[in-house]
Structure 1
Amino acid sequence: MALANLHGMANPKGTIRRRGMMNTEGLDPHLLHAWLAARSLARGLPMPVPEHGGFRVDTGSEMETVRWVFPRMGDGLKELARTIHQPRQFLKVCETSEALCPALPAHWTIPASSHVMRANGPMPRRQLADGYSIAVEQSGPVTSVRIVTDTGILAASGYGAETDGVFVYDRIVTEPEHRRKGLGHVLMQTLHEARRDPHSFELLVATDDGRALYETLGWEKIASYASASIVVM
């Protein structure tokens, strides 16, 4: 699939044009494809493939063999849902769980929605807490960051990947015993500074708790993100 150039969506001041922004019906499909492509790079997965009006990613893990991600609700999602009866196949859409629920047969389970968020201007800076050190590794378009204690215990980690004008933050984790020390803030800041294109459209998916943290860093929600799967009874 030929992608539109997403660099045109941001001016040097970081203002995003309407084309990639949230509306009441989901997310721009070009932006969604670039986000999924960057996520696949960060996780070593195959590139997303257009299918049923959304995109298929063959994840191939023990928990999930494949996922289809849709920019908004549509007939392709509804028809696909009726053909799936086995677990480990996920449907995701940039809508609320309440919007997704009526479109699916009764054998699907839908948890609460997550949130697609984007950076909105420069991130406030914070110093790394005493007793910790940070290591950054870059492999092509993928950046990994690890924060460890002085005794070598992993305290926080995360990944970023950049492609087609989009920089995706992925698997951002602070271990429970090391929270409330600003480590997540420093981790995000480090990934932000690792971008090769300073005008990349920065994206992540957050839980409710994560959303509260990212909003303190200047991020904003641009879409809901609902997920559905078949649970083995």
Structure 2
Amino acid sequence: MRTSTTAATVEEWVHGWALSRRTPAPVREPDGYRIDVGKVVHRVRFVLPDTATVAHRARTLTAPGTWLKVCGERDAVIADLTPAWLVSPPEFLMTVDLRVEDVTVPSPYRVEVIADPGGAVCDAVVHAADGSTASSGRVAVWGAAAVVDQVSTDPAHRRRGLGRVVMRSLAAAAVERGASRAVLLATEEGARLYRSVGWSVASPVTAAHLPVDDRPTG
């Protein structure tokens, strides 16, 4: 069952994600949103705030490279998919109220925050001593929401607090741009980490796609 809170969070997430990934703006559909991503293996994605139309979508969407992201219990989503769909590991739509905290960067690292010309998208990059990227992430501000995206830390630089540096840097940049809350889509492992620092789960998310057959022919 869709709740108004989940629907509003989905709206924020799809618009911020599109800004972050520099795709066309999401298109409102009767049951959710369509984003025309435009890649061969990710041609289009449909984001649904509830499970009501999963069975219909699963039967009528047939083009390889089509993705579904559905808010709702995983078993209910999978039960409505046809065998053509490849299901991804569990994900979680999460939110938190933003606050600005001190950013302490451990030596010998340094953090750089880079804003795009329009100002709505910012990257936080933690550089190692040799100039390489040790950790990074992106935030896209849409209205009062800051959508956090593509946060990662190089395996050689993990367990040094660099992810925290990135998240706090992104939060500060988002608050400067008028955001009061943050939204992200986390993996199962990521959700455990984000819960430990105050994030809440708005909804479980199940992703599935119609794979592209890239095997050579002839």
TM range, normalised to the smaller chain? 0.7 to 0.9
Superposed CA RMSD:
2.0
1:37 — aligned with what?
15
Contact 1:69 1:92 in 2 (8 A): yes
Q: Residue 130 of structure 1 aligns with which residue?
A: 107
Q: 1:204 deviation in Å?
A: 0.6
Task: Flag the 1:69–1:168 CA change in 2: closer, same or farther, 3 A.
Answer: same
Q: What displacement does 1:104 show?
A: 1.3
**For the residues of structure 2 that align with 1:161 and 1:36, how far apart are their CA atoms?**
11
Distance 2:80 2:41 in 1: 24
**What 5-or-longer segments of structure 1 have no aligned partner?**
1-23
1:88 paired with 2:73, answer no
Compute the displacement of 1:123 (Å): 6.7
* AA matched with 2:131: G
Deviation at 1:224, TM superposition (A): 0.6
1:105-144 equivalent positions in 2, closer than 5 A: 105-120=82-97, 122=99, 125=102, 127-139=104-116, 140-144=119-123
Alignment length (residue pairs): 209
Work out whether 1:72 is the aligned partner of 2:72: no
Report the CA distance between 1:150 and its aligned residue: 1.4
- In structure 1, the residue matched to 2:184 is 204
Which residue in the other structure is 1:98 paired with?
A: 75
Letter in 1 for 2:67: F
TM-score with structure 2 length normalisation?
0.87
Q: What code does the residue aligned with 2:36 have?
A: D
Which residue type is aligned with residue 75 of structure 2?
E
Q: CA deviation at 1:106?
A: 2.0
Q: 1 CA distance for matches of 2:101 and 2:192?
A: 15
Where do 5+ consecutive residues of structure 2 fail to align?
214-218
Q: Once the two structures are aligned, what percentage of the paired residues are identical?
A: 29
TM-score, normalised to structure 1's length?
0.82
Aligned to 2:134: 155
Conserved in 1, the CA contact under 8 Å of 2:86 and 2:208? Answer: yes
Which residue type is aligned with residue 221 of structure 1?
V
